[in-house]
Structure 1
Amino acid sequence: MGRIFVSAGHGGLENGGWDPGALAGGTTEAQQMILLRDVIVPELRSRGFEVLSVPDTLSLDQSISWINSRARQGDVAIELHADSYSNPIARGATAYYIAGNAERKKHGDMILLALIRRLPQLPSRGSKPDTATGVGRLGICRQVAIPSLLLEVGFLSNPDDRALLLNRRRDMALGIVDGLEAWSREINGKAPSLEQSHPVVNIRINGQNYGEQGILINSNGFIPVDLVDRLGVNLTQRPEIRLVQYRGVVYVKAIELREFNINVGWENSTRTVVLRSISQICPGMFDRIVGYGNTSEVQLIMFLKANNENALAEFPDLPKLYREEATVEGISYDIAFCQMCLATNFLRFGGDIKPSQNNFADLGAVGGGAQGATFPSAQIGVRAHIQHLKAYANLEPLVQEAVDPRFRFVTRGIAPLVDQLSGRWSSDPQYGQKILAILRRLYESADLL
């Protein structure tokens, strides 16, 4: 029987300080995940499983290295987290799996089903690909060598979820254990007993069959690194991306190319990894704020509604306004729209900014108003957002009269690229990455990427 790795999320040393994770209700995510893990591990051992508990002092990268240095065929790994959100209404458990892996999604569903059976008071938010997270990828899903999942057991910021975590910890742990047992037994039921042999898969790029084949490892498609070079992707600056050598060829997980703006799909009927490099989006323009966008109004509407079915109830003209206002000032409406999606959680709001403020990008008021700037209409709010982006993106004068209250305070042209907004527009060091992650999802939904 394979072993089970269990990691309690957060708690290690990150960026020079101890990482507590989310804080709410007088407790921390790290503390609660350790307590939950400490119920799960002995229960698994009592059922005859060998369990490896990841040390709590390790950073995320160190945790991944710790697992990979010990992992062997038939093992599985799970990392426990609690979510948090500014709106305390949000609640429920979610399992995250590596994008494009239907087998791993099934395993995430398996864990959630077992958890909810033991704790029916906890809503399930379903299994989601790691591309649906803020930065568009999860190290525990992408970089771990064995099948792995990240499980969010609820929202620490929600009083009901927090009460279940504090008062029904054993029931929660037993549900997770039930799921881990079923998952491990299924993995080991399929694992070959002799030396591992990876099945080959076909590769198709831009509609043409590629002359070399890839391989399947843990239900993930891997492609030869030589093809990566031909696609113009440089992996040398990304040491966290795992390379695998098999029978004299070096392979990389195909889904990793998504961050280099290459669409990655899977055709099950022909067992083919399907790649499509950017064709409609000009190279070098993907993350440049100055531009004209690539999507239609309908595509923006459909993307918004797919992420929040009630998004347009209060602001039905918002996609049109972003296309019009951004085009006037020469700003990419795709980027501005995705920044709005991030700032408002797809028009759910829930933070300090209220919908009535028509402030779609967390624009501050002059003098540091506690609740940010307020605008008389959605159109003026969008215009202010576009103008603030333009202030950062270039030195060109505004076409329309200034309505952005902080336009004059920005050092003009200091951030022409999306990632350069991090630490300027927001203190979040991953702010730009989160916008780009949403942009990739938008282009995928519009079949542009």
Structure 2
Amino acid sequence: MDFNVFDKEKLKVWLEIVLAVVLVAAVGIAGNKGAFDKKTVNPDKVNAAGNEALEKAADENEAAQQKADPKEDKKDSGDREQIKEEREGQASEEVIAEGQYPIMGKSSVTVDQMVEYFKTSGEAYPSDALSKGGADSIETFCQMYYDEAVAEGVRPEVAFVQTMKETGWLQYGGDSSIEQFNFAGLGTTGGGVAGNSYPDVRTGIRAQIQHLKAYATADSLEQACVDERYEYVTKGCAPYVEWLGQQENPEGYGWATADNYGYSIVDMISNLKKMK
């Protein structure tokens, strides 16, 4: 008998046995870990997930619809613009209701109301002096205020009432004279300093409104600047009429030093709005 052949055969058998054992062990481990499991989809889980997503989407849509304005469904661009204006008006009124009257914004005040408010003063309109500057009547004068204010986004009643306060219902008597067409004391510092002069009524009105805008916002002007003092104003330091008074302004800025300057203008605006 050839023992070398026998040993080789025996060794071959043992190697095959060992390999078989290792293979069986590997298969068993993989099977326990699910390596050879068929990947199946549980339809119940799929339906549950789908239903959950649909329910979430429905809830979100419902919440969005509750917050949305029904008017937004309108497709016409004019309708959308109207809605935007309505919302802007509502936002402005909310601010006013909280006790602060914005200088900037759209207003419901009309030229007719401004005219009637002037007439309540009992003062005569100085047509002789102001007609030289292009405003021969109170109606023309008020229309100029309205147009110039709207052009810059300033509320017309703010500028107009400030003028009535500053000039004593266009009767003057202070450092400035009516011939200067300076309607809000621009450049006057007291002690007989007359302040700025303008070539006509409209330019004087425009300068005042641009100066108000400088106090109210950092937004740029819509028209060419005619206010010589525009650059000296800290832009946006007084967005509300009440803050035009330095004593009431949180940062100490303001148009005038008089006590309750801005609040007195707001009181006058309230009376103007009562006009029919």
TM-score of the pair, normalised by structure 1:
0.35
RMSD: 2.1
1:412 aligns with 2:226: no
Tell me which residue corresponds to 1:304: 118
CA distance in 1 between counterparts of 2:112 and 2:126 reads 12
Is this contact kept in 2: 1:340–1:360, CA < 8 A?
yes
1:284 aligns to what SS in structure 2?
helix
Q: Distance in 1 between matches of 2:107 and 2:149?
A: 9
Query: Aligned partners of 2:143, 2:176: CA distance in 1, in Å?
Result: 22
Aligned-partner Cα distance in 2 for 1:361–1:309:
18
In the alignment, the residues of structure 2 paired with residue 381 and residue 389 of structure 1 have an alpha-carbon distance, to the nearest angstrom, of 13
Deviation string 1:54-101 (CA, Å, 9 cap, x unpaired) is: xxxxxxxxxxxxxxxxxxxxxxxxxxxxxxxxxxxxxxxxxxxxxxxx
Asked if 1 retains the 8 angstrom alpha-carbon contact of 2:185 and 2:195, the reply is yes
Contact 2:126-2:171 within 8 A present in 1 as well: no
Q: Mapping of 1:23-172 within 5 angstroms? A: none
Kept after mapping to 2: 8 A contact 1:365/1:373: yes
Q: CA deviation at 1:312?
A: 5.4
Which amino acid letter does the alignment assign opposite residue 274 of structure 2?
E
Matched, 1:282 2:119: no
The equivalent residue for 2:108 is 294
Can you list the C-alpha shifts for 1:292-313, whole angstroms capped at 9, x where unaligned? 2222111111111121341253
1:146-295 equivalences in 2 (<5 Å):
282-285=93-96, 287-295=101-109
Which of 187, 200, 203 aligns to 1:380? It is 203
Counterpart CA distance in 1 for 2:237 and 2:153 is 17
Distance in 1, matches of 2:181 and 2:198, equals: 5
Q: Structure 1's 414 and 348: CA in aligned 2 closer, same or farther, altered over 3 A?
A: same
Does structure 2 conserve the Cα–Cα contact (< 8 Å) formed by 1:365 and 1:405? no
Distance (whole Å) between structure 2 residues aligned to residue 311 and residue 294 of structure 1: 24
Gaps of 5+ in 2: 1-89, 247-253
Q: What residue is the counterpart of 2:273 in the other structure?
A: 443
SS in 1 for 2:104: coil
Is 1:338 aligned to 2:161, yes or no?
Answer: yes
Alignment length, in residue pairs? Answer: 166
Query: Could you say which residue in structure 1 is the equivalent of 2:17?
Result: none
> What residue identity is the alignment partner of 1:407?
Y
* Amino acid of the structure 2 residue aligned with 1:295: V
In the TM superposition, what is the alpha-carbon distance from 1:419 to its structure 2 partner? 1.2
Residues 1:395 and 2:225 aligned together: no
**Deviation of the 1:429 alpha carbon:** 2.3
Partner of 1:348: 171
Counterpart Cα distance in 1 of 2:167 and 2:153: 23
User: Based on CA coordinates, which of the two structures has the bigger radius of gyration?
Assistant: 2
Q: CA deviation at 1:289?
A: 0.2
Q: Is the 8 A contact 2:216 2:238 kept in 1?
A: yes
| Residue deviations 1:246-284 (CA, integer Å, cap 9, x gap) | xxxxxxxxxxxxxxxxxxxxxxxxxxxxxxxxx9x8231
Q: What is the TM-score normalised by the length of structure 2? A: 0.57
Higher RCO (CA < 8 A, seq sep 6+):
2
1:431 is matched with which residue: 261, 268, 274?
Answer: 261
Runs of 4+ in 1 over 3 A off after TM superposition: none
More strand by share: 1
Q: Residues 113 and 273 of structure 2 are in contact (CA less than 8 Å); yes or no, is this contact kept in structure 1?
A: no
The one-letter amino acid of 1:337's match is: F
Corresponding residue SS for 1:364: coil
Code of the aligned partner of 1:350: G
Deviation, 1:432, is 0.5
> Percent identity over the alignment?
34
- 2:147 equivalent to 1:324: yes
Unaligned runs of 5+ in 1: 1-278
- In structure 2, C-alpha distance between the alignment counterparts of 1:369 and 1:387, rounded to whole Å: 24
Contact 1:305 1:312 in 2 (8 A): no
Q: Distance in 1 between matches of 2:204 and 2:122?
A: 20
- Post-superposition CA distance 1:130-182 (Å, at most 9, x none): xxxxxxxxxxxxxxxxxxxxxxxxxxxxxxxxxxxxxxxxxxxxxxxxxxxxx
